[in-house]
A and B are shown apart, each in its own frame.
Chain A
């Protein structure tokens, strides 16, 4: 891999929010989910050795600054009957990516929509979205709907259906380079 490209790519992302030590500790404690006990924030605060009020105040602030997009039940689609999932990738003229990205995002079946870099001849696509459906035919129908509604008839695209899921869980930000025993 060309690490130089990767570095540029990572740092060109949206501005990061400056986070203090307490924020990072709070994120570390909550990233795996809240405990299912009557006072979950108190339990996490005790674990960190801080006041419950400090923890909820930090969480409120992380939410307001947009670091936390939402708090709630994080669903796994396959277990809810959405057996088909496709990453649909589009090769869009650079000047039209934002407009088309916003168009795709309006559809409730689109669960993610990102601009990403092309990677030369290997990978010409620069707009990515994720579509979940109960079966492949449903997903294909949704792709046709996107093509029609967003005027993508002349845009090259590819539909990458998922087969096996090897891993799915929330992000862990610490000790990333360490290896761990795997539970599928």
Chain B
């Protein structure tokens, strides 16, 4: 669902200015409000609305992959008629934070994150046992991208 046309000027400015560099002061929202020349209540209401729309998943940190715990991208080749069922099983694990259908023989792609390698391996094994479908792990080996957030094109 595209909410772009419903966004207010303040909501757009927040998206443009604060995908990174959230103030680490005791009152980050008041600081953002001062920088944008609006009230703290306006900023809080705008962030609340962005969250309700699902335009942002959260205000918070993005962790470097593998800096904390263990994680991997994984793929499964799922028969079309079982895709809903298998996706629901994969979703049911707390470890899984992303799960997408993609157009390929490998049609289910998810990211799993756990506190340790052993726990991560356990999650993938459980998914294989519950689904009877092989899980292909594709852990990150090297990251080439510097994450500065996403440059949104408003027009």
* Mask of A45-72 contacts with B, CB within 8 angstroms, 1/0: 0000000100010011011001111111
Query: How distant is the Cα of A163 from the Cα of B78 in the complex, in angstroms?
Result: 14
Q: CB within 8 Å of A: which residues of B?
A: 1-4, 14-15, 18-22, 24, 26-30, 40, 44, 47-48, 50-51, 53-73, 75, 87-88, 90-104, 106, 109-115, 117, 119-126, 128, 134-152
Q: Which of B24, B51, B64 contacts A67 (CB 8 A)?
A: B64
- Evaluate contact between B138 and A108: CB separation under 8 angstroms: no
| Cβ distance A15 to chain B, nearest Cβ, rounded Å | 9
Q: Which of B57, B94, B135, B146 contacts A1 (CB 8 A)?
A: B135
- Evaluate contact between A114 and B149: CB separation under 8 angstroms: no
- Evaluate contact between A177 and B119: CB separation under 8 angstroms: yes
Query: How distant is the Cα of A62 from the Cα of B113 in the complex, in angstroms?
Result: 19
Complex A-B, nearest 9 residue pairs according to Cβ-Cβ distance, in ascending order: A33-B58, A101-B144, A176-B114, A176-B95, A70-B20, A33-B60, A171-B113, A167-B99, A166-B99
Contact A67-B67, Cβ < 8 Å, known A34-B60, A115-B140, A166-B87: yes
27 interchain pairs, CB-CB under 8 A: A6-B72, A10-B70, A10-B120, A11-B117, A13-B65, A13-B139, A14-B142, A31-B60, A67-B63, A70-B20, A70-B147, A74-B57, A80-B15, A105-B144, A113-B144, A114-B65, A114-B140, A114-B141, A123-B75, A166-B91, A167-B99, A170-B60, A172-B97, A176-B93, A177-B93, A177-B119, A180-B93
Using CB atoms, name the residue of chain B closest to A178: B94
Q: Which of B53, B92, B113, B140 contacts A173 (CB 8 A)?
A: B113
Query: How distant is the Cα of A115 from the Cα of B101 in the complex, in angstroms?
Result: 21
- Evaluate contact between A78 and B59: CB separation under 8 angstroms: no
- Evaluate contact between B1 and A7: CB separation under 8 angstroms: no
> What residues on A are CB-neighbors of B4 within 8 Å?
80-81
Q: CB within 8 Å of B: which residues of A?
A: 1, 3, 5-7, 9-14, 16-17, 19, 24, 27, 30-34, 36-42, 52, 56, 59-60, 62-63, 66-81, 83, 87, 97-98, 101-102, 104-105, 108, 110-117, 119, 122-123, 128-129, 132, 158, 160-180, 182, 184
> What residues on A are CB-neighbors of B109 within 8 Å?
87, 160
Contact A71-B93, Cβ < 8 Å, known A101-B142, A160-B104: no
Q: Which of A34, A80, A116 contacts B152 (CB 8 A)?
A: A80
- Evaluate contact between B58 and A7: CB separation under 8 angstroms: no
Query: How distant is the Cα of A87 from the Cα of B68 in the complex, in angstroms?
Result: 24
Contact A13-B140, Cβ < 8 Å, known A70-B62, A79-B1, A167-B96: yes
Q: Which of A170, A177, A180 contacts B58 (CB 8 A)?
A: A170
Contact A38-B29, Cβ < 8 Å, known A3-B121, A68-B61, A176-B95: yes
